[in-house]
């Protein structure tokens, strides 16, 4: 591949990392509940969900756009950037929590417990988030890149939705058992897993028209529409 410069690639990488950190650091701290005027499968008339679900599906949309326009190898670099950012944020949050608070500051008596609640997730949840993200995003990028070649670039919606189904499916099947198996009842775990999987896919479907607009604009602006016909799909590389 050439070492050419792209106008929007770095901005998309920054957006991907920002959304990823929001979904893993801000979102999981709050469980939301919305009363519905009708019943829906798995949750009834009360929709209960982690606020992180508002952010995380957007990272898959970023991943779809990056792979569709710039190809798997450049999307791979972005995934590794997100992985590194998650590791760094996790380590630094633990460092901040472990540092002794100044007792002469009265506000620390309130702040320290709050920080521990928000950022003091168990090791299982931390490991589950990092591992599930890494595997799920690479599955998403690989499937989309392969489908683009198979479909000769037609029917963008089939590969954005299809790759998200597989990527989010793998992500959910990795995250929930690692984080909560043996803590939650098995029936509850499977219900939450399935609901959140369907919710994330729904976000992808709803956002598909916007994905078309962004992808078409980027392809024209960057003069790029990469096909991974001869790409080395190993995840363990940072080569363009």
State pLDDT tens for residues 184-237.
888 888 888 888 899 899 999 999 999 999 999 999 999 999 999 999 999 999
Determine the pLDDT at residue 125. 85
Tell me how far the alpha carbon of residue 18 is from its chain's centroid: 10
Where do the structural domains in the chain lie, given as residue ranges? 9-222
Looking at the chain, the whole-number percentage of residues with pLDDT higher than 90 is 66
pLDDT per position as a tens digit, 118-149: 787 778 888 999 999 999 999 999 999 999 99
Burial class (CB in 10 A: 0-12, 13-18, 19+), 127: middle
Looking at the chain, the whole-number percentage of residues with pLDDT higher than 70 is 95
- Three-state DSSP at 120 gives coil
CATH architecture of 9-222: Orthogonal Bundle (1.10)
Which of 22, 12, 13 shows the shortest CA–CA distance to 129? Answer: 22
Tokens of 70: 């710039």
Question: What average pLDDT score do residues 72-92 get?
Answer: 96
* Residues 64, 144 contacting (CB under 8 angstroms): yes
* Residues 54, 199 contacting (CB under 8 angstroms): no
Question: What average pLDDT score do residues 163-174 get?
Answer: 96
pLDDT for 2 beyond 60: no
Determine the pLDDT at residue 1. 47
Question: What average pLDDT score do residues 52-74 get?
Answer: 92
* Residues 141, 63 contacting (CB under 8 angstroms): yes
Determine the pLDDT at residue 27. 64
Average pLDDT, the chain: 90
pLDDT for 76 beyond 70: yes
Using CA atoms, how far apart are residues 218 and 225, in angstroms rounded to an integer? 9
pLDDT for 63 beyond 60: yes
pTM assigned to the model: 0.92
Using CA atoms, how far apart are residues 34 and 48, in angstroms rounded to an integer? 7
pLDDT per position as a tens digit, 17-42: 999 998 887 766 667 778 888 887 76
């Amino acid at each position: 591949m050439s070492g050419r410069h792209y106008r929007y690639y770095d901005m998309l990488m920054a957006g991907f990392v920002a959304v990823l950190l929001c979904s893993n650091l801000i979102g999981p701290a709050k469980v939301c509940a919305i009363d519905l005027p009708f019943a829906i499968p798995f949750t009834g008339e009360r929709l209960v969900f982690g606020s992180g679900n508002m952010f995380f599906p957007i990272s898959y949309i970023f991943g779809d756009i990056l792979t569709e326009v710039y190809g798997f190898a450049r999307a791979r670099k972005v995934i590794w950037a997100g992985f590194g950012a998650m590791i760094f944020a996790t380590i630094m949050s633990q460092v901040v929590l472990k540092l002794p608070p100044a007792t002469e500051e009265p506000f620390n008596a309130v702040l320290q417990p709050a920080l521990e609640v928000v950022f003091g997730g168990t090791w299982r949840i931390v490991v589950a988030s990092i591992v599930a993200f890494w595997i799920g995003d690479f599955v998403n990028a690989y499937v989309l890149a392969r489908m683009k070649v198979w479909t000769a670039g037609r029917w963008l919606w089939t590969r954005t939705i299809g790759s998200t189904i597989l990527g989010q499916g793998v992500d959910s099947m990795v995250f929930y058992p690692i984080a909560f198996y043996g803590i939650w009842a098995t029936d509850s775990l499977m219900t939450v897993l399935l609901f959140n999987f369907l919710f994330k896919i729904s976000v992808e479907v709803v956002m598909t028209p916007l994905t078309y607009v962004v992808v078409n604009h980027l392809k024209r602006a960057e003069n790029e529409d990469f096909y991974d016909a001869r790409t080395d799909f190993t995840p363990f590389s940072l080569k363009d």
